[in-house]
Structure 1
Amino acid sequence: MRLMDSSEAITIKDVRSARRRLEGSARVTPLLEDPHLNAIAGRRVLVKAECLQRTGAFKFRGAWSALTALGEGARERGVITYSSGNHAQGIAHAAEELGIPATIVMPDDAPALKLANTRGYGAEVVLYDRAGGQSREEIGNRLAEARGLTPVLPYDEPLVIAGQGTAGLEIAGQARAMGVTKAEVLVCCGGGGLSAGMAVALAAEAPGLRVRTVEPAGFDDTARSLAAGERLGNEPGASSICDAILTPMPGELTFPILSRLAGPGLAVTDDEVLRTMGLAFQRLKLVTEPGGAVALAAALFHGAELADGPVVALISGGNVDTAMFRRALDMLDAAEPGAA
């Protein structure tokens, strides 16, 4: 059972309704600017700090939007989802707050912090062998049918997309207040729920701000799909440290939205991501994980692929393991004097 029919269009009305449900629960995260980052990029860079959202990621927005729309019977039976970590934590925390049982299917190689946090919010975690080729969808569907659980998908769910889109509503007003009415808005992209929701929001409330998706090199399925005009998957064997956004292909629901409203996609390297994580900590005092840093990495190091003028970059995912964060700081320390 789906929360909504996937053929139903996502409109600005859906996003505004999600904002009303989120009021008083989700944080309004700041839009930050730092002169040193501007100097590296050669332009104004406004940073939407979604790593300061509840559970450390924008995913809480979509989770709360979806769970608060459940009927009483569905709430009593519970929900199920699959996620490598951030959607898992968003659903688990929202479910805990709302008194809804939650089951989360997670890869056994997910970062330890994300597994611990998800369990800590009271969710039941079911592990699967991602590296061995087990299908999280098959496991989730089987459990949903057996237990009568309502699936809340990570990105191909209208109410989730609408919730993620509320970040776009905030950016529209915040950028306007900072004198920016025309810019490219760089968004970390896995299945496309955040970028699709934000594209809908910005098209209605700030048409001068255009979404551009950003992915890890080797997992740029959305960028390639946008260029080809059809959904394409990633080639097997690729690897990246950006575990949170390593999805196989764009979502069935999100891709048509992005095809209509987003600009060409971008891809960044793992080294660019690690350096960006260090810079975000050093200059903005923010902690972000690899998948959440890709948009800022594109803003800092891929200026030739962007239109002239300011950019907005959304960073997310503050749930990074200590070892990975140390790698980022070590890379920053190893930079030439003055480069960082």
Structure 2
Amino acid sequence: MSVRVATIDDVRQAVDVMSQHLSPPPLIRSYALEHALGFDESRRVWLKDYGWTPVGSFKLFGALNWTAQNLERIGDRPIAAHSSGNFASGISFAGMRYSKRVIIVMPESAPKVKFERTRSFGAEIRTYNILTDPQTGERDRLTREISEQENALQASPYDDADVISGNGVGGLQIIEELQRHGRTLSHFICQVSGGGLMAGHAVAIADGFPQARIIGVEPTGADDFRQSLAKG
């Protein structure tokens, strides 16, 4: 089965989608980290603060672009997705903006604030037990049942070219802001979980600052991305 890979052209196309809904989250200089790292005055540390989005997470970028690029496929169908909270609120916000019904599968132990935020954008929520899910597969089963019974189109929180392209818009914003300050970029450091944030930003950063070293960060003991790279 062929897999569509997000390109820099896909990321640039997603810029128009974001501009219709969001102001760019700020790129903030961190004097504290510069001091902790012992940098001299010529070097800078910048942080992209996605907490300023309406849902408090970068996940909104991918959710908005996925919805915008799939409007014809969605039609009058609902959108189904599973998420522990951030993509849930992101795809719910996107559904609200595009007048689409959204059904989310969330762990019953998710923080209350994530349930409240997701519902505030109009989504319906079904829950599952995350502790027993590795044995029961309840999350995927519920999501699949919703897709079949409701004729819903399923959105992936990370493993999708449209989601990755939307996330990459944040990388283009970083490039634009640094160039405005007359700065270049030596290292780009990004956390890796599902990989959608890292993938989108890597596409953008590699194009805008090809000399930059791109580094993914994972918790010790949960380094599946590093292990995957090591195995080729």
- Which of 198, 222, 237 is 2:201 aligned to? 198
The TM-score, its normalising length taken from structure 1, stands at: 0.63
Matched, 1:31 2:27: yes
The residue number in structure 1 matching 2:217 is 214
Matched, 1:10 2:6: yes
Deviation readout 1:262-312 (Å, 9 max, x if unpaired): xxxxxxxxxxxxxxxxxxxxxxxxxxxxxxxxxxxxxxxxxxxxxxxxxxx
* Structure 1 runs, 4 residues or longer, greater than 3 Å off: none
Residue 76 of structure 1 aligns to which amino acid in structure 2?
A: D
Secondary structure of residue in 2 paired with 1:187: strand
The residue number in structure 1 matching 2:86 is 86
Secondary structure of residue in 2 paired with 1:162: helix
Q: Distance in 2 between matches of 1:6 and 1:163?
A: 21
Matched, 1:180 2:183: yes
The residue number in structure 2 matching 1:126 is 126
Deviation readout 1:151-196 (Å, 9 max, x if unpaired): 1100011110100010111111212233432321111221101100
How far did 1:224 drift?
2.5
How far did 1:81 drift?
0.6
Say which is worse superposed, 155-164 or 167-176, in terms of deviation.
167-176
Residue 18 of structure 1 aligns to which amino acid in structure 2?
A: A
Residue 109 of structure 1 aligns to which amino acid in structure 2?
A: S
Secondary structure of residue in 2 paired with 1:68: helix
Gaps of 5+ in 1: 230-340
The residue number in structure 2 matching 1:268 is none
How far did 1:208 drift?
2.4
Q: Distance in 1 between matches of 2:101 and 2:224?
A: 34
Gaps of 5+ in 2: none
Question: Aligned pair count?
Answer: 225
How far did 1:96 drift?
1.1
Q: Distance in 2 between matches of 1:199 and 1:74?
A: 29
Distance 1:180 1:228, change over 3 A: farther
Residue 137 of structure 1 aligns to which amino acid in structure 2?
A: D
The residue number in structure 2 matching 1:21 is 17
Cα RMSD for the two superposed structures: 1.7
Distance 1:141 1:216, change over 3 A: same
Residue 36 of structure 1 aligns to which amino acid in structure 2?
A: A
Percent pairwise identity: 35
Residue 188 of structure 1 aligns to which amino acid in structure 2?
A: Q
Distance 1:161 1:127, change over 3 A: same
Q: Distance in 1 between matches of 2:121 and 2:51?
A: 18
The residue number in structure 2 matching 1:152 is 155
Residue 10 of structure 1 aligns to which amino acid in structure 2?
A: A
Q: Distance in 2 between matches of 1:110 and 1:149?
A: 23
The residue number in structure 2 matching 1:167 is 170
Q: Distance in 1 between matches of 2:212 and 2:87?
A: 26
The residue number in structure 1 matching 2:49 is 49
Q: Distance in 2 between matches of 1:69 and 1:92?
A: 16
Residue 63 of structure 1 aligns to which amino acid in structure 2?
A: A
Secondary structure of residue in 1 paired with 2:165: helix
Residue 175 of structure 1 aligns to which amino acid in structure 2?
A: L
Residue 228 of structure 1 aligns to which amino acid in structure 2?
A: K
Structure-to-structure mapping, 1:103-122, within 5 angstroms: 103-122=103-122
Q: Distance in 2 between matches of 1:211 and 1:7?
A: 23
The residue number in structure 2 matching 1:224 is 227
The TM-score, its normalising length taken from structure 2, stands at: 0.90
Q: Distance in 2 between matches of 1:71 and 1:102?
A: 13
